Each structure stands twice: as structure tokens, then as C-alpha cells.
Amino acid sequence: MAYVDDFPTDARIVRWNLLVAFTALGIGGLFGMIQALHRTDVFRGFVSSADYYSVLTGHGVLLALFFTIFALCGLFTWGVTKSLDRPLPSARFTMAWFGFMFVGALTATVTILGGLVPSMPFNADVLYTFYAPMQAHPAFYTGLVLFIVGTWMAGFDWFRTYWRWRGDNPGERIPLQTFMVLVTMLMWYISSAGVAVEVLFFLLPWSLGIIESVDPLLTRTLFWYFGHPVVYFWLMPAYFIWYTVLPKLAGGRLFSDPLARVVFVLFLLLSTPVGFHHQYTDPGIPEGFKFIAMTNTMFLLLPSFLTAFTVVASIEHGARQRGGSGRLSWLRKLPWDEPAFAGCALAGLMFAAGGFSGIINAGMNINYLVHNTLWVPGHFHLTVGTASALTFMAIGYWLFPQITGKRLRLRSVATVQPYIWFVGMTLMSNAMHRAGLAGIPRRTAEPQYDAVTFQGVVGGVSEMRLQIAIGGVFLFLGLMLFLLVIFATWLGGSRTAPLRVNGTLPTPLSGPEHSPKILDNLKLWTAIAIVLIVLAYGLPLSAMLADGLFAPGSPPI
Ligand code: HEM
Ligand code: CU
């Protein structure tokens, strides 16, 4: 039986979430290609340089916020219902959170697109970080608030499904997929509170004219309090897939369930008290606290290394089950022609590279070299732009048949698609990293670096530009092929053909019984997470509050 037969109502909500996510991906990806061509001078016919910032805001918001989080909601709804083997309790409530998120996302998107139409009285050219003193139309902030409230309700929906399951199964270990969802959502509640305060108490009243000014340092700090954990909100659903589905796709089983739990707990503890690593160049934050943030960030590498170890061990187990042998030649036995596997594996590989450039970003002193250069988008197109995005696309090939009851169509297109993305991203991201080292800034329509300063066909700025442009076109092509396969499957397939997908997930080699029960004590981990946040943020934040709430640095009266 496919998932859609067991859980028809939940399958519908999973489909809707993924539909919105992938539509956002399509539009955002088009914007990405326009940016790559525009700023590299290859083709500037799409938008004017003034409109570039509306496009860039659309790209950031649609991809980093809406695509990722709608995809997360689809995947988590699937994971909770499947691993607890029960549907979400109330279809009406589920529709309500989806409705909040959808209306919020639509409102914010329309406001952003207003910036491209001169006659429209609204715009939101504030980029996806919406730092003051840049100001958007109130509709943009209102949309964001609705969207975030929707995600909180979604989390509640998953929690209460779990609580009901707990009522029927006292004393049992939380199934791994549900454990991952709950821990991720705890992190989200703690961290998104920061951006909610920023938007509700400062930016929205300010854009409505209720308050006259805001303190840019305070609002930036509230943003980055949320801004680092949000990157884990993008990544943890990818980890969720790599831990629980990828081993099966490789033909094996998860190496260790307890290690997976430890990793998620570490993310809950460490992903919030690091936000200052995005503010190394901000004045007004004591160096010592920046240093604490750097130290925590380096500790945060631990769960990523543990993941690399566990996931590779599980894949190797799969390859050996398929007859692989030798130190590395087992790699050849992996199903590289299976699009879901290939996409997830390539995403993981690129994530490793992104992790290394992330270590550079995190170093307080070396960060000054790359800060606000094109290096930074080079980095995060490997992480969110590939580790998350390619994993979500790839798992779509496996999940769509199960949530629609239709067999995957255009399989051969699906088979090449992850490789096209991989090639495109290798070109674009590598050239972006190099361009950043050469000092080329990010977030500008007119990076004025020409062949006079950096000469040479190879190794010069013109070569990097060309690579970014070609990479961007490849990526957009990969995206269109993906959407073609998914929509052809959804709209064109028939429900009678056998699915050829088996949705059952094998048990791990080492199960939860090999770990202490304290790992499942969510209250304890949440409490420790909050203590760490107070230590990291308490003093600097109270200094920012004490010097006046609504203006930069004004002393208290
Ligand atoms: C920024 C291209 C996919 C997230 C950029 C920039 C380019 C670009 C050239 C730099 C613009 C600038 O700083 O002036 C592309 C292309 C893509 C793609 C060609 C594929 C078709 C993605 C994906 C994500 C993503 C899948 C995330 C899921 C971002 C973010 C920014 C960005 C967050 C920063 C926006 C800002 O500075 O406000 N992209 N991108 N991109 N991209 Fe992409
Ligand atoms: Cu960060």
C-alpha cells in the first residue's frame, strides 16, 4: 500500500506543501539565473540594475524562506504520520496552518514583485535579511508574521500527534523520524521568537508610522539570533532524509540510531548561541561575545562531522550489501542511476565542500577577508542551495509516487537531472568563492571589476564571470527538468500502474535500545539550550536594550 492509500488526507497536505515549495523554487530559480547573467555582464536584457534588488529580494525570500520551509512542512508531515503510524488529528487545523503559511507567503511575494511594477504603490526591496534602516511596505512584514505563525501551528500539529501516540504507547522510545521533527521544531520555537519580536514590535510598527525610528543594531541582533538557527531549519530536513531514507536508497540500513539522536540534540543546544558570528563586523557588540559565538560555532562542526561519519557508514553498508568490496571500490556498487539516491549523495558531497568554506566564514579574523563578498553566496549555494535544495528535489522522485499513487514518469530525465545541477553548481559556486577572494562584492547589480584589474582569459575576472553565468544557466535548466518530471508524474500518470517504490524503511543496524533514555528527554535539552542562549546573549542584549529601544545608541532617559 502506498502512503496515499493509508493516509489520504495527510498525503494531500504533503502534496500541497511540496507544490508550493517547488513553485517557489521555480520562480526563485528564474530570478537566480537573471542575477547570474546580469551581474556578470553576460546578458542584461531581463531587468534594469535598479530592479535587480527586487529580483534579489524575491530570490532570497522565495528560496531561503518559502521553498525550504514549505518543503520541510511536507516532509515532516509525512515523517510524523508515517513513523507514528497515525494521521494528524484534525484536517481542519492542518488546513489552517497551511492557509496561514500560504496567505503569508503570497502577501510577501506580491509585495516584493510590486517593486518591479512602477505603478504599484508597494515594494519590499529589503533583501531577505530585511535590515533596518531599509524599509518595506507593511504588507511584507505582515506576510512574514502570518507565515511564521503558520509554522508554529504546524509544529503544534506534529507535537499533539506525538502526544496522542505517547498516550497509547507509554514507555516506548520516540520513533526516530518523529524525534527529529520534534527536536527541530523546539529549536525553531526558541529561535523564531527572535525574528517575531523584531518584526512585530519594531519593523512593522515602524513601517506603519506608529514609531518613528528603530535601533538597527538591536533589530539586526534579533534577526541573527534567528538567522543562524534558520540555516539548521533548512538543513535538518535534509539530514532527516539522509539518516532515515538515504541508507535504504543505497540498499542498506542506518548505521546508528543513537548517533542520529545525539546529532539532533546537539543542534538544538548549539545552533542558537552563535548568531553573533554573522555580526563580526558590527560595532557595539563586545569582542568577547563574538569570540564565544565563534567557539560555539566551531563546536557545531561536531554534529556535522558525526553526520558525515554515520551517513557514509550507512551508505557503505548498503554498497557492501550489493556486493561492493575494497577500500573505495564499493562506491561503484551504489545506485548512481537512481535519481533519488544520486541527488541525495551529490547533495551530501557538496555539503562537505560547503562545510569547509563555512569554517572560513566562522573564523573571526579570516571572516574579514570574505565578509560581504561573493564568497558568501558561493558558500551557501553549496549548503542551502544544494545540500537542502537538491536533497528536497531528489527525494521528490521517491516520495511523489507514494503521495500521488502514480509511477514516476520521464525517468531518464530524472536520472540526469541531479548531475546537471551538480555541474552547474560546481561552476557557479567555485567561481563565486574565487571571485570573493578577489574582493568582488555580493548584493550588487554592478560589480565594477573589469579585465583591467584582473587580466587573463584563465584566472581573471572575465573567466569567473563566465563560469558563474554558465553555471547559473545549467542550474536553471536542471530546475526546469525537475519540475517537468514532477508535474508530468502528478498530472499525467495513471493510478493503476504498479508503483515500483517500496516506502518501508528498514530498522537501523544499531537501534535506540543501545542508547540511554535521557536522549529522549526533550524538556531537559530545551532547558539547557535556553541556559546557553542566556549566557551567549544576556549581557550584550541587555546593553542594547538599556541604551533605548527605538533609536540607535541613545542613552536611557
Ligand atoms: C544569491 C544565483 C539557487 C539562495 C544569489 C546570487 C546569485 C544566485 C548570482 C548572488 C546575487 C548577489 O549577491 O548579487 C542562483 C542560481 C540558482 C540559485 C542561478 C539556481 C537556479 C538558489 C537556491 C537557494 C538560493 C536553491 C536556496 C535554497 C540564495 C540566497 C541568496 C542568493 C539566500 C542571497 C540573497 C541576498 O543576498 O539577499 N543566487 N541561485 N539560491 N541565493 Fe541563489
Ligand atoms: Cu551562521
| Cell 558563474 belongs to residue | 468
- Residue 234 alpha carbon, nearest atom of ligand 1: 28
pLDDT on residue 273: 94
Rounded to a whole number, what is the distance in angstroms from the first to the last CA of the chain?
Answer: 68
Residues with CB under 6 A from ligand 1: 29, 32-33, 35-36, 39, 56, 59-60, 63-64, 67-68, 127-128, 377, 381, 384-385, 389, 442-444, 472, 475-476, 479
- Pick the atom of ligand 1 nearest to 40's CA: 9
Residues involved in catalysis: 228, 232, 379-381, 442-443
Q: Measure 496 CA to ligand 2 centroid, in angstroms.
A: 47
The answer to pTM > 0.90 is yes
Ligand that comes closest to the CA of residue 380: 1
Task: Residue 456: count other Cβ atoms within 10 Å of its Cβ.
Answer: 10
Question: Identity (one letter) of the amino acid at 395?
Answer: I
CA distances from 1 to 7, 271, 349, 405 (A): 10, 39, 33, 9
- Closest-CA residue, ligand 1 atom 23, reads 385
Cα separation of 32 and 432, whole Å? Answer: 14
Q: Using CA positions, which residue lies closest to atom 34 of ligand 1?
A: 60
Residue 98, all three cell numbers:
497551511
Please report the pLDDT score of residue 463 as a whole number.
87
Q: Quick check: bond before 377 cis, omega within 30?
A: no
Q: Which residues surround ligand 2, an ion (CB under 5 A)?
A: 228
pLDDT of residue 504: 86
Cell of 489: 508524474
Q: Distance between CA 365 and CA 280 in Å, rounded? A: 9
- Note the pLDDT of residue 1: 74
> What is the 254 CA–ligand 2 centroid distance (Å)?
28
Q: Whose CA is nearest to atom 1 of ligand 1?
A: 377
Ligand nearest to the CA of 70: 1
Does the structure's ipTM exceed the value 0.90?
yes
Angle between helices 411-437 and 389-404 (to 10 degrees): 160
The helix (run of H) or strand (run of E) holding residue 191 is helix 176-197
| Span from the CA of 471 to the centroid of ligand 1 (angstroms) | 12
Give residue 454's pLDDT.
Answer: 55
Give the number of whichever ligand sits closest to the CA of residue 425: 1
Mutation probe of ligand 1 site: the residue of 51, 59, 228, 351 with most atoms within 8 A of C-beta: 59
Span from the CA of 343 to the centroid of ligand 2 (angstroms): 25
For 212, counting Cβ atoms within 10 Å of its Cβ (0-12 exposed, 13-18 middle, 19+ buried), the class is: exposed
Instruction: Please give the distance, rounded to the nearest whole angstrom, from the Cα atom of residue 58 to the centre of ligand 1.
Output: 10
pLDDT means per 10 residues, the chain with 557 residues, are 92 97 98 95 89 97 98 98 97 98 98 94 95 97 98 98 97 96 98 97 97 95 97 97 96 94 96 95 93 94 92 94 93 96 97 95 95 97 98 97 93 97 98 94 85 63 91 98 96 77 87 92 97 95 89 67
- List the alpha helices (DSSP H) in 250-286: 257-270
